[in-house]
Amino acid sequence: MKYQSQKVAYWFFALSMLLLALQLIYGFIMGFAHMGYDVLHDFIPFNTARAVHTNLLVVWLLSGFMGAAYYIIPEEAQHELVSVKLAYIQLITLALVGVVAIVGFHFNYWEGRKFLEIPRPLDYLVVVNVLTFLGIIIATLYKGKQRTTTSLVLTMGLLFAALLYLPGMIWFDNQTMDSFFRWWVVHLWVEGVWELIMGGILAFLLIKITGVDREVIEKWLYVIVGLTFISGILGTGHHYYYIGAGKVWLIVGGVFSALEPLAFLAMALFTVSMYRKGEKKHPNKMALNWTLGTAIVSFVGAGLLGLAHTLPSVNMYTHGTLVTAMHGHLAFWGAYAMIVFAIIVYAMPNMTGRKFYDSNRGQLAFWLSNIGMVGMTVAFGVAGVAQVYMERIMGLEFGVVQDEIKVHFLILVLCATMFTVGIALFMYEFIKYGRPTDEALEIEQ
Ligand code: HEM
Ligand code: HEM
Ligand SMILES: [Fe+2]
């Protein structure tokens, strides 16, 4: 670590880990409910568990991205963060808003819009919080000695993500209109601007780990940003097929969303080729694992499994089924959870001065979580295809079909257990590293 203020990142990572642990508990509640053991129904019905599970996911990923920015920006800009105190206030308020929202969900204090359940008054607090965060990051960049492409792409991603939160706050009386703009947030985040955040963090990690010239790595970033925007913006149309938004989206959405995997393919090729090109053998092998892992798994989860149901003729059958959950899990895990894990694993030894590189526990955490998640994806996929066939082709009633596919959730819960053991090992390593210290300044490799 080169700058004292980078230590702020640690606390954002710690919040991330805490919220992830909670997210998994709610995942299990739903897994068991699907198996027929909905024992908590009176206190935590399925819809509550689902909203908590997905919102916790978004908040822990955002906290991870913020931690990443607080770590990366000082180093790239060669300047301390302009205000560490404000960054801590921002952390605490983020955690408070998150907790109030999650508790509120249990008392039906929410908006019933998937992923955007946070009630309006809290939305305004989120906006203030994110503005504070962006203020600190942009002021640091402005005062810094250099503005690299990596830091600009990361900041642009974060800034656009904040702006794209706003269309979700417009009030509509019309369901189609509401749905139309909800996708500006949900789709344009994960298939647009979050890819810039991912690309920025990935470029930073590759520069550090492989030792390949910054110029070479940053050239690739332009390609990724270009491919993301060309395909992702109009690709939003793949959510407009059958919501009452007009027939033109069948062709526009179909064609452009089918091109979206190219951006993820470019990221995977870029990461693997930089790894091959790199001569520097960085001792932090786990950081390399998670970096290569995120590039490859995101291509499979987002690119290939996204492509699997993006054409109108397929989506007509699969929309809103467990096929969507199959893709949602591997895409979020590969692209955004793994990139957060990668920056955590890279930053921890630098912030604490303790070098637990390449421990067996770290390796096990990587493999168990990944194999577990692939297993979960397969279980969701098999259940999803069975659901589509029975519900949408044979015409059986929803509840009857859910009863038929219970058995797949036994497999899901078993794989989720393996996944959770991996995550628990990762968290154990995180805790073992301890707190960041000023003694770690400058001893980074
Ligand atoms: C990292 C990137 C991605 C993430 C995290 C992600 C995640 C998700 C999630 C959570 C949903 C469900 C959203 C909801 O119903 O509210 C969804 C839906 C969908 N995704 Fe992705 N996705 C990603 C990339 C892609 C790509 C690249 C494609 C196409 C090639 C794609 C195709 C789709 C389609 C067609 C749906 C709609 C499914 C339905 O109609 O139920 N996704 N995605
Ligand atoms: C212990 C591990 C987990 C279990 C048992 C689990 C289980 C579930 C279940 C049962 C659902 C609801 C599906 C339905 O609507 O019927 C769900 C939704 C979801 N989970 Fe998980 N999950 C786990 C971990 C994760 C992780 C680590 C992520 C992200 C990296 C994630 C992302 C999501 C998303 C995005 C949805 C919404 C999918 C959609 O819109 O269709 N889950 N999860
Ligand atoms: Fe989308």
Residue from 357, 333, 332 nearest 346 by CA: 357
pLDDT at position 114? 93
- Which CATH code, of 1.20.210.10, 1.10.10.10, 3.90.1150.140, 1.50.10.20, is assigned to 4-439? 1.20.210.10
| Ligand 2 touching residue 341 (CB < 6 A) | no
Query: For residues 398 and 321, what is the distance between their CA atoms, to the nearest angstrom?
Result: 10
Which ligand is the nearest neighbour of the Cα of 384?
A: 2
Domain boundaries, the chain: 4-439
Q: Whose CA is nearest to atom 24 of ligand 1?
A: 302
State the closest ligand 2 atom to the C-alpha of 336, by its place in the atom list counted from 1.
30
pLDDT at 279: 79
From the CA of 329, the nearest ligand is: 2
Q: How open is the CA angle 269-275-276, to the nearest 5 degrees?
A: 90
Q: Which ligand is nearest to the Cα of residue 373, counting in written order?
A: 2
Q: What is the CA radius of gyration of the chain?
A: 21
Q: Is a pLDDT exceeding 80 seen at residue 280?
A: no
Cα-to-centroid distance, 308 and ligand 3 (Å): 12
Give kind and range of the element (H or E) at residue 285: helix 285-298
Does residue 8 surpass a pLDDT of 90?
yes
Distance from the alpha carbon of residue 439 to the mean position of ligand 3, in angstroms:
45
Which residue's CA lies nearest to atom 28 of ligand 2?
A: 329
Over the stretch 88-129, which tens digit does the pLDDT of each residue have?
A: 999 999 999 999 999 999 999 999 899 999 999 999 999 999
CA distance readout (Å), 5 to 11, 55, 169: 12, 29, 33
Query: Using CA atoms, how far apart are residues 59 and 46, in angstroms rounded to an integer?
Result: 20
Ligand 2 centroid distance, CA of 26 (Å): 9
* Chain segment 41-65, per-residue pLDDT in tens: 999 999 999 999 999 999 999 999 9
Residue in the block written with tokens 């024992």: 39
Q: What pLDDT was estimated at residue 118?
A: 96
Does the beta carbon of 16 lie inside 6 Å of ligand 2?
Answer: no
Rama region for 174: left / alpha / beta (φ>0; ψ in -120 to 50; rest)? beta
Which residues are CB-contacts of 57 (< 8 A; sequence separation ≥ 6)?
23, 332
- Weakest mean pLDDT among 111-115, 335-339, 425-429, 441-445: 441-445
Residue 369 reports pLDDT greater than 60 = yes
What H or E segment, with its residue span, contains residue 180? helix 175-188
CA triple 44-48-50, angle to 5 deg: 115
- Give the type of residue at 172: F
Ligand 1: nearest atom to the Cα of 198:
1
What are the tens digits of pLDDT across the range 293-350?
A: 999 999 999 999 999 999 999 999 999 999 999 999 999 999 999 999 999 999 999 9
Give the number of the ligand closest to the Cα of residue 418. 2
Q: What is the DSSP string of 124-170?
A: HHHHHHHHHHHHHHHHHHHHSS---HHHHHHHHHHHHHHHTTGGGGS
Q: Strand, helix or coil at 354?
A: coil
Q: Provide mean pLDDT across the span 141-163.
A: 97
SS3 for 185-236 is HHHHHHHHHHHHHHHHHHHHHHHHHHCCCHHHHHHHHHHHHHHHHHHHHHHH
What is d(CA 351, CA 43) in angstroms, rounded to the nearest whole number? 41
Q: Which pLDDT score is estimated for 444?
A: 54
Tell me which H or E stretch contains 362.
helix 360-387
Please tell me the number of the ligand nearest to residue 237's CA: 3
State the chain's mean pLDDT as an integer.
96
Res 356: pLDDT: 87
Q: How confident is the model at residue 203 (pLDDT cuts 50, 70, 90)?
A: very high
Indicate whether residue 57 lines ligand 2 (CB < 6 A).
yes
d(C-alpha 371, C-alpha 376), whole Å: 9
Residue with the smallest CA separation from ligand 1 atom 43 is 328
Tell whether the model's pLDDT for residue 162 goes beyond 70: yes
Nearest atom of ligand 2 to the alpha carbon of 333: 30
- Residue 413 in tokens: 């819960």
H or E segment at 75? helix 46-77
pLDDT of 20 strictly over 90: yes
How far lies 126's CA from each of 51, 54, 104, 118, 139, in Å? 17, 17, 15, 10, 20
> Of 367, 361, 206, 370, which Cα lies nearest the Cα of 291?
206
Task: Mention every residue, 6+ apart, whose C-beta is less than 8 A from residue 37.
Answer: none
Residue 147: partners with Cβ closer than 8 Å, 6 or more residues away: 77, 141
Q: Whose CA is nearest to atom 17 of ligand 1?
A: 328
Whether 310 is in the pocket of ligand 2, judged by its Cβ within 6 Å, is: no
pLDDT at 443 over 90: no
Q: What backbone torsions phi and psi does residue 243 show, to the nearest 5 degrees?
A: -110, 5
Give the C-alpha distances (Å, rounded to integers) separating 294 from 14, 37, 48, 82, 336: 20, 34, 30, 31, 8
Q: Of all residues in the chain, what percent carry a pLDDT higher than 70?
A: 99
DSSP category for residue 239:
G
CA 124 to chain centre: 22
Summarize pLDDT for 165-201 with one digit per residue, the tens. 999 999 999 999 999 999 999 999 999 999 999 999 9
* pLDDT of res. 180: 97
Cα angle 49, 53, 59; round to 5: 140
> Measured from the CB, is residue 187 less than 6 Å from ligand 2?
no
The alpha carbon of 99 and the centre of ligand 2 are apart by a number of angstroms equal to 20
CA–CA gap between residue 431 and residue 402 (Å, rounded):
40
Out of 111-115, 140-144, 394-398, which region has the weakest mean confidence (pLDDT)?
111-115
Query: What's the 429 CA to ligand 2 centre distance in angstroms?
Result: 24
Residue 409 has pLDDT above 90, yes or no: yes
Cα distance between residue 144 and residue 79, in whole Å: 5
Interior/surface letters 121-155, b for 16+ CB within 10 angstroms, e for the rest: ebbebbeebbebbbebbeebbeebeeebbbbbbbb
Q: How far apart are CA 110 and CA 245, in angstroms?
A: 26
Place of tokens 């995101």: 298
| C-alpha atoms less than 13 angstroms from C-alpha of 74 in its C-beta half-sphere | 21
Pocket residues: Cβ below 6 A from ligand 1? 114-115, 186, 190-191, 238-239, 257, 260-261, 298, 302-303, 306-307, 309-310, 315, 319-320, 324, 327-328, 331-332, 335
Q: What is the pLDDT of residues 221-250, one digit of tens each?
A: 999 999 999 999 999 999 999 999 999 999
